[in-house]
Amino acid sequence: MFHRRFPGGGNFLGEHVAVSMDRLRQTVGLMAKHLDVQVAQMVTPEFSNGLPGCLVGNRARQVNIGVKALQLTGNSIMPYLLFLGAPIADKFATHAEQYNQNINSMGHVAACLARKSISVLSQHISICFLVCVQALDLRANLIQENGGYDARLLLSDKTRPVYEAIRSTINIPITEDRPYIWDDGEHPLDEHIASVTSALTIDENGCLFKSLKPTIDWLRSKRYSYHVSSRSPEDCS
């Protein structure tokens, strides 16, 4: 489905659709694994350049797990996306319809799996956004002279609107006094994941989607910026 429209493949076999969707799901799985590694480095003091383990906000509390629940959720999603990345184009039946259709297209199944894969990836990205917000708050507290948790002054002009949009989406104001997560159980993290996911995939007029649009447009311009030189038939001889 492209912009809520269903284009047709135009022929019976349609194996090109299945192969393309297989490749898309494999790429989604690789992206999820890369994000999973980045989160692991942020929550591990040996790699995070001074951030507390699990990005715990209130370290005076005896038991506090910080973003561990978010990380473990992402850890569970990532293998699922890798599983969905397994190819299905080669799983076609060879004896369908009394051997009339010796090769059946798996394009429809591959596309349905790709749609599922992208939907799950959006949840994984949402989790990563929330973890990054907590990491930014704690980084601000470490390096700013006033010890506040507002990270906006540390961010680039393109990153700052994303940071602000995520906090607006989950309805947790940015303050100098506290990071996003201070103590366990103070926020409904499942609702926050759902809110950010919805803002990423449904609400194209929302603040989060708009904050990401410059980056999306830039990536699209790089993707389609190739130049095909016009050559005469003689040049090809």
88-109 tens-digit pLDDT: 988 877 776 677 665 667 888 8
The whole-number pLDDT of residue 11 equals 55
Q: What's the DSSP call for residue 101? A: B
The structure's pTM equals 0.86
Cβ-contact 67, 54 below 8 angstroms: yes
Residue tagged 């990071």 (tokens): 179
Name, in order, each residue with C-beta under 8 angstroms of 33's C-beta and a sequence gap of 6 or more.
Answer: 78, 81, 82
Nearest residue to 170 via CA among 137, 216, 142: 137
State the Cα–Cα distance between residues 90 and 103, nearest whole angstrom. 10
Other C-beta atoms closer than 10 Å to the C-beta of 13 total 14
Measuring CA to CA, which residue among 55, 17, 18, 20 is closest to residue 39? 55
**Residues of the chain under the 70 pLDDT cut:** 1-13, 96-97, 100-104, 224-237
Those residues with Cβ within 8 angstroms of residue 95's Cβ, 6 or more apart along the chain or in another chain: 102
pLDDT of res. 220: 84
Q: What is the pLDDT of residue 16?
A: 84
Identify the residue whose tokens are 């449904």.
Answer: 202
Residue-level pLDDT at 236:
45
Neighbours of 46 (CB within 10 A): 7
Q: What share of the chain is helix, strand, coil (3-state, %, to 5)?
A: 55, 0, 40
pLDDT number for residue 229: 47
